[in-house]
Amino acid sequence: MPIATETTLEINLKALTQNFNYLKSKLQPGVQFMGVVKAFAYGSDSVVIAQKLQELKADYLAVAYASEGVVLRDAGNKLPILVLHPQTVNFDKIAERCLEPGIYSPLMLKRFIAFAESLNLQDYPIHIKVNTGMNRIGFTPEEVSSIPELLQKTTSVKVKSIFSHLAASEDVANRAFAERQISLFKKTSDELIEALGYVPLRHTLNTSGILNFPEAQFDMVRSGIGLYGFGNDALENKNLEPVASLKTIISQIHHIKKGESVGYNFGFIASKNTVTATLPLGHADGIHRGYGKGKGFVTIKGNKAPMIGNICMDMLMIDITGIDCNEGDEVLVFGKTTTAEAFAERINSISYEIITAISQRVKRIVVH
């Protein structure tokens, strides 16, 4: 790994490949793999990750919003791309870039059909999202029964897949809830398929679903967090490797006398003579203010150094008393040893939030 000379987010494509192969090894033969690359591929780099997933022969990509799919198409990605949460205002962008909308309500289906007809589109691929208990977006099972009638009147769209989302797939104490969702999904999709007269793909598992509900793989699975190295489970985390490592350097070292303060609003007051270091990393880079006042820590040559005082916009200060280090030395925030998940726990957060929060200002470098 290169030594950091400024704040960098390292993206390890070898780790991505291993995670992909591990998750694929959990699938029954013929089950397709959709790589979820929304939110800049969970805070890393969606173009780079999507390109690698295409090389690895993933079957599908998913993004949350149309604009995220546009970026991938404009970078030349050829995989089919599901837009999980499209909006009417973006239908033009979706069709121009051959993105495939996840249709989640009767209103949206009517609007998309009208849009597709206005452009004389034929068999445009759409995906039907069913709400089986998450109560976020999706057709209720009752609403699903109105879909065939709407589709019979048009040749402009064709259902490429039917999908749902589990509300607590990582929560082994509540397996029964997920099992009810899965059986409702099966029943609702069986009925829709029968009425359509053709057979779209079916999918309902996210990463934790892949790991905990192997019987519900249907035709495809959708994995995000697992690709990036987290399994929402201490045991599974051992089989996965974090893709992103956040590193920075020491900008300046200060010798603070007992009684002096450090940073805004006297957020740290030295109770003894203290050596501090200032890092070029702040809340504008994605380090939440909650990490201040000793909650967060970084690692320098294997030594933990707590974040002290208030996190500033572009900088934060750490206590390096007793640690042998110099200005310019590399500092690890999270990565392989201190994982983003362990870092997240310090402020009662989760890996998803921490890795997606790393702002676009932080330089990305790809390591192979």
Ligand X SMILES: *Cc1c(COP(=O)(O)O)cnc(C)c1O
Chain position whose Cβ is nearest to ligand X: 224
Quick one: which segment of 8-16, 50-58, 104-112, 201-209 binds ligand X (CB under 6 A)?
201-209
Are the C-beta atoms of residues 344 and 351 closer than 8 Å to each other?
yes
Quick one: which segment of 89-97, 112-120, 154-162, 223-231 binds ligand X (CB under 6 A)?
223-231
Distances (CA, A) of 127 to 181, 221, 244, 325: 18, 14, 31, 54
Q: Which two tokens stand for residue 150?
A: 């709407």
- The SS3 call for residue 128 is strand
Are the C-beta atoms of residues 180 and 133 closer than 8 Å to each other?
yes
Q: Which two tokens stand for residue 191?
A: 């009925």
Nearest alpha carbon to residue 6 among 315, 228, 293: 315
How many Å apart are CA 135 and CA 179, to the nearest integer?
16
Quick one: which segment of 47-55, 219-227, 236-244, 247-255 binds ligand X (CB under 6 A)?
219-227
Q: Nearest distance from residue 319's CB to ligand X, in Å? A: 35
Q: Considering the complex, state which of residue 9 and residue 62 has its C-beta at the smaller distance from ligand X.
A: 62
Among 93, 127, 202, 222, binds ligand X (CB under 6 A): 222
Q: Are strands 261-262 and 60-63 parallel, antiparallel or unpaired?
A: unpaired
> Is residue 138 part of the contact set for ligand X (CB under 6 A)?
no
> Is residue 229 part of the contact set for ligand X (CB under 6 A)?
no
Q: Nearest distance from residue 181's CB to ligand X, in Å? A: 13
Quick one: which segment of 14-22, 48-56, 188-196, 203-211 binds ligand X (CB under 6 A)?
203-211
Nearest alpha carbon to residue 348 among 285, 294, 275, 295: 295
> Is residue 225 part of the contact set for ligand X (CB under 6 A)?
yes
Among 165, 202, 247, 283, binds ligand X (CB under 6 A): 165
Among 8, 189, 206, 276, binds ligand X (CB under 6 A): 206
**Which residue type sits at 309?**
G
How many Å apart are CA 44 and CA 113, to the nearest integer?
35
> Is residue 207 part of the contact set for ligand X (CB under 6 A)?
yes
Residue 158 is a catalytic residue: no
User: 36-65: which residues touch ligand X (CB under 6 A)?
Assistant: 36, 38
One of 38, 52, 93, 129 is an active-site residue; which one? 38
Are the C-beta atoms of residues 281 and 267 closer than 8 Å to each other?
no
Q: Nearest distance from residue 137's CB to ligand X, in Å? A: 9
Residue 258 is a catalytic residue: no
Q: Which two tokens stand for residue 78?
A: 């050829």
Q: Are strands 81-83 and 60-63 parallel, antiparallel or unpaired?
A: parallel
How many Å apart are CA 53 and CA 33, to the nearest integer?
10
Q: Nearest distance from residue 34's CB to ligand X, in Å? A: 8
Among 43, 101, 141, 224, binds ligand X (CB under 6 A): 224
User: 68-97: which residues touch ligand X (CB under 6 A)?
Assistant: 84
User: Is the Cα dihedral 267, 271, 273, 275 positive or negative?
Assistant: negative
One of 14, 57, 264, 363 is an active-site residue; which one? 264
Nearest alpha carbon to residue 23 among 208, 202, 278: 208
Q: Considering the complex, state which of residue 45 and residue 330 has its C-beta at the smaller distance from ligand X.
A: 45
Among 8, 44, 132, 223, binds ligand X (CB under 6 A): 223
> Is residue 283 part of the contact set for ligand X (CB under 6 A)?
no
Q: Considering the complex, state which of residue 207 and residue 245 has its C-beta at the smaller distance from ligand X.
A: 207
Residue 113: CB atoms within 10 A of its CB come to: 20
- The SS3 call for residue 15 is helix
What is the set of active-site residues? 38, 264
Interface with ligand X (CB under 6 A) = 36, 38, 84, 165, 206-208, 222-226
